[in-house]
Amino acid sequence: MLNATWLETFTALCEAGHFTRAAERLGMTQPGVTQHVQKLEAQVGQALISRSGKSFSLTPAGEALREMGLARRAEEAALAERIGEDAPDRGEVRIACSGSFAMLLHPRLIAHMAGAPRLLVALEAAPQARVREGVLARRFDLGICESAPEHPRLTAREIGMDELCLLVPGDSPIGREGPVDLEALDALGMVAHPDGFAHADTLFGLNFPESYRGADRLRLRCSNNQIGQIPAPVAAGLGYTLLPRSGYDTYPERARIRIAPLPRRHRQPLWLVAERGRRPPARVESVARVVEDAAASLGEG
């Protein structure tokens, strides 16, 4: 490995173009500068400069060393800035959460970044397992999960509740004049999505324990895997679906759908997940507060 002090002396000499000026800039003697250059030449095994009186020119090896010296300076300056300045409004923060919560969180993150031009926030909608794995692998700084991860290298704190909702067309009679009837729902048909079957097992199993026979027995009307488009068939009167409250609150045409009341409601906690023992930078803490505010906005429903 090259001696860092000798390389910096050589880089300063290249910038100054003169041994005396380089010595003054470095607070050294001229023989000291000469000695560092000679030692660096001995280390690389090639001449770095060609002298001509009091001036000099760089050999090809010298040109290469000069470029390396400048690159090392830039890297050290960037490192010094990175570790010496822990600002809440600059740097990168990576987050992962469910698609429903991502739709609720995204506009809040945009507003937060508008006041911080040097802050980059990367938001990814991902399955729960990928969220946990990504935080463990440091692909994500923060994750939002529906259950507390049981892993020794992860820590989590509850930040809110997201209610699981049964969404029906706004003009549907279901649940208006009496209890929601599972047969009436089945006649309408389900708008399916990747998490919909698990949601049905949770919510229908809770409310219709005697008559519900599993998600595989439900009549499907259509399916969609784009979270922002799942309520659209419901709004058009084609069927019902099940989504977290965050998915309902962020749908722009929610006046055309409604939440059908069920005797037993199911609220699932939201957990903010991070790596245990890792002190978060200020920028991550500032974004975490935005996440917490978004979760708190869901309220009790």
| Cβ partners under 8 Å of residue 57, min gap 6 | 49, 50
Could you tell me the two tokens for 70?
């400048």
Cα 217 to chain centroid, rounded: 37
pLDDT of residue 197: 92
Q: Residues 264-290: pLDDT tens digits? A: 999 989 999 999 988 898 999 999 999
Residue keyed to tokens 């990928």: 130
User: Could you tell me if 44 and 2 are in contact, meaning their C-beta atoms sit under 8 angstroms apart?
Assistant: yes
Tell me the per-residue pLDDT of 178-218, one tens digit each, with 9 for 90 and over. 899 999 999 999 999 988 999 999 999 999 999 999 999 99
* pLDDT-derived band at 228, boundaries 50, 70, 90: confident
Domain 162-267 bears CATH identifier 3.40.190.10: yes
Query: Tokens 């009679």 — which residue?
Result: 173
On the question of pLDDT at 243 being above 60, the answer is yes
- The token duo for 270 is 């939201």
Could you please state the CATH topology (level 3) that the domain comprising 4-84 is classified under: Arc Repressor Mutant, subunit A (1.10.10)
The residues near 78 (Cβ < 8 Å, ≥ 6 apart) are none
d(CA 257, CA 75): 55
0.75 surpassed by pTM = no
Greatest Cα-to-Cα distance within the chain, rounded to the nearest angstrom: 103
What is the structure's pLDDT at 85? Answer: 67
Neighbours of 67 (CB within 10 A): 12
pLDDT at 11: 92
Q: Where in the chain is the domain with CATH 1.10.10.10?
A: 4-84
Question: pLDDT tens digit string along 115-156?
Answer: 898 899 999 988 888 999 999 999 999 999 988 888 999 999
Question: Given pLDDT bands bounded at 50, 70 and 90, which one contains residue 100?
Answer: confident
Residues 6+ apart with CB under 8 A from 265: 163, 164, 301
233 Cβ contact partners less than 8 Å away, ≥ 6 residues apart: 191, 221, 222, 224, 239, 241
In which band, very low, low, confident or very high, does the pLDDT at 90 lie, cut at 50, 70 and 90?
confident
**Residue 81 confidence (pLDDT):** 67
In this prediction, residue 88 carries a pLDDT of 87
Quick: pLDDT tens for 31-72.
Answer: 999 999 999 999 999 999 998 777 889 999 999 999 999 999
Identify the DSSP state of 47.
-
Distance of alpha carbon 284 from its chain centroid, rounded?
10
Alpha helices in the chain (DSSP H): 4-16, 19-26, 30-44, 60-84, 99-114, 128-136, 182-188, 196-207, 231-235, 245-249, 282-296
d(CA 19, CA 10): 10
Return the axis-axis angle of helices 99-114 and 282-296, rounded to nearest 10°: 120
Residues of the chain within CATH 3.40.190.10 domain(s) are: 90-161+268-296, 162-267
Distance from the Cα of residue 47 to its chain's centroid:
50
Q: Which fold has domain 90-161+268-296?
A: D-Maltodextrin-Binding Protein; domain 2 (3.40.190)
